Every structure is written in structure tokens, then in C-alpha cells.
A and B are shown apart, each in its own frame.
Chain A
Amino acid sequence: MSRMNAMFKKLYKLVLVVSLAIFLFIVFDEIHNLDNNSKRYLSEHYISEGVQETGAINIVTSVLYDYRAFDTLGEATVLLTAAAILSFLVPLGKDKMLGTTFTMIVSQTTKFFIPFLAVLGAYLILFGHLAPGGGFVGGVVMAVIPILLTITYRVEFSEYKFKPAKKKLAEDIGAIGFILLGLVGVVTGSNFLANGQANFGPGNTGELISAGLIPFLNLMIGIKVGAGLAIIFNSLIKEK
């Protein structure tokens, strides 16, 4: 009887998941029907006019940092809150987690690997408006450097190389710089975080310094995300 009961429970779970999937498929097929042309006027406008209005070739970046820049500010605030609360709740302590001991091969490889990571992250951040990538992705790649140092050596070495006070300062610079760059739009007489409307000189599309404020916003988001994720990781790995 108990085996029958267990089989029934397993079957119940499977039927539940399958029916939920079918329900979601029907609902989303009804809402996001791609053949329906009348609901897509906004994306048509982004695709056809986005390059002339903002000056960035990458349409995703032009949406994230120009049309919907306020949402990006909200996402950055979420990360700032998480890093602040984690570093407040786990103030000090040592790395006492169990882990396999690594040999010298891994540490030497990490030494070779870190400059490559720095170049890749800088490329992703600086070319955010010309190629896929942008501030968030480049910031995460930069945050891998302290994570690798923490894994292969100890937390003490990682915090000796990248001081916690400096990381907090970098995160604050990123958050405040984003808002100050947004206030430039108000000074010139248009909206907060306005780039295309305020006419900041889109420049020649396709060059490195073009698209007005978007490269600087990318740089600020990159600094902020990198420092914040490094703080979160080092706070998670320490214990009382």
C-alpha cells in the first residue's frame, strides 16, 4: 500500500508540472502572439529610430541606458542594498569553510589568468555600445578576479590585495556617479537621465567615443557591479 502511495505521489507531482506547463503555454501563446502586428509599435520604433536618436549601434544598450535608464538605476540599487546588508550582518571573521587544498599548479595558473580577465572585462565595458556586453557583464567579469584570489589563496590575501574600504569606496563612486551623470540631463533643461533628447552630441556612430553619455554610464555601472559582487562573495565566505 505504501509503495502504491509513493507511486501515486510521484505521478501527482509529474501531472502537476505538466499541466502547469500546458497552462502557461496556452496563456503566453494567447498574450504574446507574434503574428499580431498591432501590439508592436513601440519595438518597431526602437528598431527603426534607435540608432539615429541615441547614437549607439547596440539596440539593447540603447534601450537599457537611454529609453529605460531609470530601470537600470533600480537594478543597481538592489545590488547596493544587498552588498550593504551583507557587509553589515557579517562584519568580521575568518575563512573556516572546509575545502580541498589546491596545489601550486592552480595558484600559478591563476596568476597567468588574472591579466587576461582584466583585459576582457575592460573590453566588455568600454565597447558596451558597439558590441554585446555592457556594464553589467563587464562588471561581473571584473568581479571574478577577487573571487579567484579568494578561492586559490585565502580570504586574507584577497583582502590584502583589494582592501574592503577601497571596494566600498568604488561602489559608492559608481552609485553616485550614475546619479550625477543623470543630473546633467536636468541641467541642460530636459528630463532626468536624458541622453538622446538632450542632444549630447551622438557623434559618428561606430566610433569609440560616441553616443553621448552611454559609455560613461556603462563605466559607472561596471565599477559598481564589480565592487558590489566582490563584497557579497567575501562576506558570504567568512564566518564567525
Chain B
Amino acid sequence: MMDIIFNMLMIFLVITAFFMVFTKDISTAVIALPIYGAILVVIFVILQAPGPAIAEAVIAAGLTTVFFVITINKTEY
């Protein structure tokens, strides 16, 4: 049963990554970035690795988004 959840999360991860790459608007891509981080956190927890999971929750879902948002506000998009 856990295999089905794992495979579903992997497919969701691929969908999110393709959406982030192929969308037209920059702000939409930045909004999709924390979702990508959240899916990776759940996958790491299923694989029994809490250390990389907590680092992923801090870096990909937290800091990268913060810096991207400020950089987008400073540019003309």
C-alpha cells in the first residue's frame, strides 16, 4: 500500500517539475516551487531519512522561495 502512495507522489513530482519549467509566467513558477519542496519532504520521510527531509523543508521550501520572490519584484517582468 505504501508503494502506491510512493508512486503517486513521484508522478505528482514530475507533473510539478514540468509545470514549473513550461509555464509562461515567472510568478506562477515561483508559486509552484514550495509544492515541489513539500512533495520531496514527504518522499524523504517515506524513505526513512529525517535529516535530508528537514534540510529540504528549510532550503527548497523556505529560503529559495524567499530570495526568488524578492528578485522577481526587483526585475521588470
Interface residues of A (CB under 8 A from B): 13, 17, 58, 60-61, 97-99, 132-134, 136-137, 140-141, 147, 229, 233, 236-237
Query: Cα distance A147–B53 when bound, in Å?
Result: 23
Q: How many residues of B contact A (CB 8 A)?
A: 19
Evaluate contact between A97 and B58: CB separation under 8 angstroms: no
- Residues of chain A within 8 A (CB-CB) of B66 are 147, 233
| A17→B18 CA distance, assembly (Å) | 9
What is the chain A residue whose CB lies nearest that of B67? A236
**A140–B54 Cα gap in the complex (Å)?**
11
A74 to chain B, nearest CB (A): 17
Contact, CB under 8 Å: A132 / B51? yes
Q: Are A140 and B21 in contact (CB under 8 A)?
A: no
Interface string of B39-77 (1 = CB under 8 A from A): 000000000001111110011001100110011011000
Whether A132 lies near B50 (C-beta < 8 A) is: yes
B63 near A60 with CB under 8 A, answer: no
CA distance A76 to B72 in the complex (A): 27
Q: Which positions in B face A, CB cutoff 8 Å?
A: 18, 21-22, 50-55, 58-59, 62-63, 66-67, 70-71, 73-74
Main secondary structure of the interface of B (DSSP, over half): helix
Q: B51 touches which one: A60, A98, A140, A237 (CB < 8 A)?
A: A60
Q: Is the CB of B70 within 8 A of A237?
A: yes
A98–B21 touching, CB < 8 Å: no
Cβ–Cβ contact A98 & B63, under 8 A: no
In the assembled complex, the Cα of A133 lies from the Cα of B50 at a distance in Å of: 9
A61 proximity list for chain B (CB < 8 A): 51
Evaluate contact between B58 and A140: CB separation under 8 angstroms: yes
Q: Which residues of A contact B74 (CB under 8 A)?
A: 97
Q: Which residues of B contact A236 (CB under 8 A)?
A: 67, 70-71
CB-CB under 8 A for A132 and B58, given A97-B73, A97-B74, A140-B63:
no
Complex Cα spacing A97 to B72, Å: 11
